[in-house]
Structure 1
Amino acid sequence: MKVQYDIQFQPELMQNAWEQLKQFTDARIALGRVGGSQPTKPSLEFQLAHAQAKDAVLKVLDVQALEEQLAELNTDILHISSCAEDKDTYLKRPDLGRELSEASRQLLKQYQQQHQAEYDVVIVTGDGLSARAIEDNAPHFIAELHQSCINEGWSIAPLVIATGSRVTLGDEVAQILNAKMLVMLIGERPGLSSPDSMGIYYTWNAYKGCHDAMRNCISNVRPAGLSELIAIQRLMALMKKSRQLQLSGVKLKDEHEMVVESVAPTNLKRIF
């Protein structure tokens, strides 16, 4: 019988040649190794990130706290829900998250009957797949967006907070409230480095049953992603162009320009 010797690995931490590139990305690269295994620290960091992503999905939106933060805007706030009555149903039945509950539909219709108004903009905030993203990012974003719309002279519908929501839930809200421009803020599906990412979906003249090609999307709004300032600038540019062209979606191009400061790296070695 031929004897096979075990492979002998070095017991100390072995750095990866790509280590210097980690400063430019949150991606899990250049983790190094100890022996034939991954080092303990990145292994634990991965488990933590996975737990944070799972918690973001399962977390229930604190509607009361959100309402209190938005109260300073001095506008009506309506709380609605989808037909997905709990998180388990929401995750297993995406279709129910796209449908207004009957009680919510009647609430919106009653409000519209009482006020008999038409609006330029309605802002709907939905928990989506990350309530944490909404709690962390939405209050200040809504305040800034609300003021930007006022500065344009646009009429704004009551703020709407939606639980158990998917993106298309906002379509019928805009239709019932007679709002031309729908801004749907929603918690995005968490990644392993982004449990707090908020998405923005904009639709001109939304109605129940309209298709995704009618929407414009701005994603990854969070401190470590797309900044709030840039997101609002981009959204407002889309909305102004949309009013001019009377459309949104694939026919509406994002022409917002960002100033990018280019800094040439001085300490990178050639590694490939």
Structure 2
Amino acid sequence: MPSLEKWKQFTQARIGLNRSGGSISTKEMLKFRLDHARAKDAVLLEPNWELIHESMNQLSTKYGIKNIFVKSKITSKQEYLLRPDLGRRLLDGSELDLIPKDEGFDLSIVCIDGLSAKAIDENLISYLELLFSEIQKTKLTLSPLVIAKWGRVALGDEIAEKLHAKICLVIIGERPGLSASDSLGIYLTYKPKIGNTDESRNCISNVRPKGLPIPLAVKKTIYLIHEVLAEKKSGVLLKDQMPNESLSPSQEKLIPEN
């Protein structure tokens, strides 16, 4: 069997920790506290909204897509953590009500800060840039891009329903763990509407450079969008049959042998 040191290169999980008697080593304890602090920061801090808006405007200009900023009914970060129900509903008087909806759209993309400011700051724009470049190769019709503050995943249902979109694609900062505080979660829902629950969604999780790489996440997203439109269903009703391409040939060679 390979040593634990060889396996450590394939995971950020805490395996094979050094110990001194019945306790883990000082080095491992300090690393644990640092990761815990990073996880707390990811939840409690706000994304760099000024930079996000600037980047979104650049994307909108490049791809000819309008972007809209909205808020949930939440009024503070503390309330966001205590009242997830309010994070699922839009603040009254949204600009979304002014968008023409005569023809509707195939896809509504909603970007939500969620529970990780770090994920939004570091990975959102990279994901969107590649996603839009791939969508341009298709015949999909897009609603305006929506950026939402203090929202939960279900906020996307109300937004996409207002925009008369067939599919809601939510990109959100995932709840951080002690080994990953920068993960994006991608959720797809067919026929989005207020009251939808999680079994109606397909999820792509752990999207980050050291998790599911952004190019593979975008490829999975495009695949699921086409499957949802073809099958007219999502969530537990839709079987994901995309071939497993999570490992490149170069990565496969690194897996230690027994």
Query: TM-score, normalised to structure 2's length?
Result: 0.90
- Following superposition, the deviation at residue 94 of structure 1 comes to 0.8
Measured on the aligned residues, the alpha-carbon RMSD in Å equals: 1.7
Picking from 97, 100, 103, the partner of 2:90 is: 100
Larger Rg belongs to:
1
Distance (whole Å) between structure 2 residues aligned to residue 190 and residue 248 of structure 1: 26
Give the counterpart of 1:109 among 97, 105, 112: 97
Q: SS where residue 97 of structure 2 aligns?
A: helix
Aligned residues: 247
Q: Tell me the TM-score normalized by structure 1.
A: 0.86
How far does residue 250 in structure 1 lie from its aligned partner after superposition? 0.9
Q: CA deviation at 1:125?
A: 0.3
The 5 Å alignment of 1:111-260 reads 111-112=99-100, 116-259=102-245, 260=247
More moved, 217-226 vs 230-239: 230-239
Render the CA deviation track for 1:208-257: whole Å, top value 9, x for unaligned: 11222211000000011001111111111111111111111111111111
Larger RCO, structure (CA 8 Å, separation 6 or more): 2
Q: Which runs of 5+ in 2 are unaligned?
A: none
The answer to whether the aligner puts 1:62 opposite 2:48 as a matched pair is yes
Checking the alignment, whether the CA contact within 8 Å between 2:112 and 2:172 is kept in structure 1 is: yes
Instruction: Give per-residue Cα distances to partners, 1:31-80, cap 9 Å, x unaligned.
Output: 11234432221111100000000000011122221121122222211111
CA distance in 2, matches of 1:65, 1:124: 17
CA contact (8 A) 2:112 2:152 kept: yes
User: Partner residue of 2:74?
Assistant: 84
SS in 2 for 1:94: coil
2:134 is paired with a residue whose SS is: helix
CA contact (8 A) 1:82 1:163 kept: yes
